[in-house]
Each structure stands twice: as structure tokens, then as C-alpha cells.
Amino acid sequence: MTEEQEVFHRHIQRAGLKRTAQRDLILEVFLRTEEHLSSEDLYRLVQKEDPEIGQTTVYRTLKLLTDAGLAREVRFGDGRTRYEHNYKHPHHDHLICTSCGKTIEFYSEQLETIQDAIASKHGFETTHHTLRMFGSCSDCRDSSGTPKKEESAAEPRVRFASAPSTH
Amino acid sequence: MTEEQEVFHRHIQRAGLKRTAQRDLILEVFLRTEEHLSSEDLYRLVQKEDPEIGQTTVYRTLKLLTDAGLAREVRFGDGRTRYEHNYKHPHHDHLICTSCGKTIEFYSEQLETIQDAIASKHGFETTHHTLRMFGSCSDCRDSSGTPKKEESAAEPRVRFASAPSTH
DNA sequence: TTGATTGCAAAGCATTTGCATGCTA
DNA sequence: TAGCATGCAAATGCTTTGCAATCAA
């Protein structure tokens, strides 16, 4: 049993909830996938191993994982919620390519410091923040006019059919 | 006719669209309201002056204003899109109080500079970005447990499906 | 045993679209 | 007059909820 699984089970017990095969499987698949997954993405992956599992259970479990501190919600502007690992995968911000949908994670101590200073100047105590920078990645600019993925040229806004992220 | 109205009409003409009483009224109400308005908020305000106007028209006009460069979409995490002025109201970021929903706008040259450096380091050319810092404002912390705005307890404007993660 | 969990279907939201009617240019 | 605009209703797409059946502790 991995550390994450232990965290999950402790959370489940603390909250008076129950351990089930579905939750175990969903967690397992989530952990092994290093991407920004929407509930639907995860549902499809989980389906391959157990076609009996329902969408609803995935939605509910993802919420549970978030409560347990194992997942973190991220939104890239296409209207669907994605989740990323939140255990031993510390805070970071995102660069989002609006043409191919690729995301790059980065962390800057300097940035954090300035943000803290700004917040306290305004009397705020911040719990968390999100910084998203939208633009075009070098790949997409190199092949100018021919974005990497075929569907991307059609949609000016950020919209990815499925979440292709590279960490 | 205000400058903004001129910008709007130029945009309308350039795009081969038509000027209508509804669009004029919606723009006018939008401009005079210095807040982050959702489509519904604006709809309600506009309704007071012309009850004939439909939701759909407000949605469509808000999109038009965005295209014309007069409005900018902002999302504070409660699932609905809000709009803020985008003409002579330059880029800034937001501090969002998760207990009373108050937002504070700020701008930091230093922050922008660092962001640019980070983007170029990763080969990105950014078009825009959003930085949102969530937390509690001083008012809410002073009156601990008693948020300032009456409606906030019942209907928090910023609501997270589940607990925000700790980084 | 008992209360939590599951999965389906139905409901909820915010937003968009189809379409007949109304208006601007 | 031609074609865009409007507003209603219906449709969307994502997410949540109600509920009867099932299962973990």
C-alpha cells in the first residue's frame, strides 16, 4: 500500500466513511496517471479496468480525494474541472498553450514572495492562489500556422477535447 | 456619446452588425456599474429599465462587448462568468475574500516582469494571464465568524465544491 | 444490523442554439 | 428589402441529487 493510499484510508476512517473497491481503484488509477484529469478522463480510464463503475462515483471520489488532500482542482478555462496530484507534488502555477492545450508547470519562489507581500499590504491572509499564463508554446510557434494538434486551429479559445498535458 | 460607446459602434460597423436599442442600453448599464457583473446581474439591472429585454440578448451582448475590447471575462471560482470593464481600465489581478466575496484589484509591475521572464524561459509567448489570490480580508478576520456583508453568509459568492488545498 | 455507498435516472445550473418574428441599414 | 437581432423555448454540457438496492464495518 502506497503512502497516498494510507493517507486516503486514514481520511476515510477519520470521517467515518467506508473503504470500497471502487474508491481503491479510482485512487489507484488517479495516482498512476501523471496528468490533469477531468472527471470524465478518469472515468474512461477506470472503465477499462472495471466497466461497472459509474460516472457519479468518480465525481464523488474525486471530491473525496480533494478533501483528503491528495488531489487539487485546476481549471484551465474550458469549463471543466480537472484534478492534479496534491501529495508530494507541491504548489506550482501553469503556463497554458491556447493552441495545442499543452500545460507547463512552474514554481518561482520570487513570485510567491511578492504575492505574499501584496496580499499583506491589502490586509489579506491568503489560503491559496492560482496563476495561469495563456499563450503559445514554442512548438506551436515553430510550425507557424500549423498547430501541433489538428483540432486546435478551429477553436480560438482554450478548449481541449481531452487534457494533453506534459509535466 | 461616450468614448466607449464610440468604440462599440465602430466595432459593430466594422463587423457588419447592427446597432439596436437593446445593445445600447446594455452597454450603458454595464458602463455605469463599477462591479464584476455576471450576465444575470446585468440582466436584472437592465430589466429595471426595459423589462422586454431577454437574458439571451444580455449574454450575446456581453460577448460582443468582450470582442469589442470593452469588457473582460473574469472567473472567481463559483462557476459563473463575470465581466469587468476593459477600456481605460488596464490589466490587474485579484484578491478574493472567500468569506464575504469582496474582491480587491491590484497591479504590480514587478510581478508582471517576473512572469514575463518565466514565460520566456519556457519558450512561451503569453497573450494574457490571470492571478487570483484567495483568502480572507481584514474585515472578515476582525469580526471573526461574522462576515461583513449580510448576504454572504447565506450565499457566498465564492464557493468551492470542496476545501481549498493547502500548499 | 446499520448506516454509508453505488449507479441509474432525473434534476440543476449556466450558457448556447434553433427559429419565427421584428428591425436596422 | 436583405440580413442581422431578438426572445422564447428547447437543447447543451458538466455536475449534483434522489432513491432503491447493495455492501462494509
Kindly report, residue by residue over A58-75, the tens digit of the pLDDT.
Answer: 999 999 999 999 999 998
Of B residues 58-97, those with CB within 7 angstroms of nucleic strand D are 60-61
The H or E element containing residue A23 is: helix A21-32
Q: Residue A83 corresponds to which cell in the numbers above? A: 484534478
The pTM (predicted TM-score) of the whole model is 0.76
B142 pLDDT more than 80: no
Torsion of CA B121, B127, B133, B139, to 10 degrees: 140
pLDDT of residue B98: 85
Contact residues for B31 (Cβ-Cβ < 8 A; gap 6+) = B2, B4, B85
Task: Specify the amino acid at residue B2.
Answer: T
Cell of B44: 436584472
Q: Which region among A59-63, B1-5, B156-160 has the lowest average model confidence (pLDDT)?
A: B156-160
B80 to chain A: nearest residue by CA? Answer: A79
Range of lowest pLDDT (B67-81, B112-126, B147-161): B147-161
* pLDDT, position B140: 86
Tens of pLDDT, residue by residue over A139-167, are 888 765 444 433 333 233 343 433 333 33
Query: Are B124 and A136 in contact (CB < 8 Å)?
Result: yes
On whether any CB of chain A is under 8 Å from the CB of B115, the answer is: yes
The pLDDT score that the predictor gives to residue A143 is 66
pLDDT (tens digit, 9 = 90+) per residue, B8-63? 999 999 999 999 999 999 999 999 998 899 999 999 999 999 999 999 999 999 99
* pLDDT recorded at residue A159: 38
- Cβ–Cβ contact B144 with A under 8 A: no
Residue-wise pLDDT for A67-126, tens only, equals 999 999 998 877 889 999 998 888 899 999 988 888 999 999 899 999 999 999 999 999
Q: Tell me whether A90 touches chain B (CB under 8 Å).
A: yes
**Side chain identity at B86, as an amino acid letter?**
N
The separation, in Å, between residue A99 CA and nucleotide D19 C1' comes to 44
CA dihedral sign, ordered B141, B144, B149, B153: positive
Q: Which three cell numbers stand for residue A68?
A: 483528503
Q: What is the pLDDT of residue B155?
A: 32
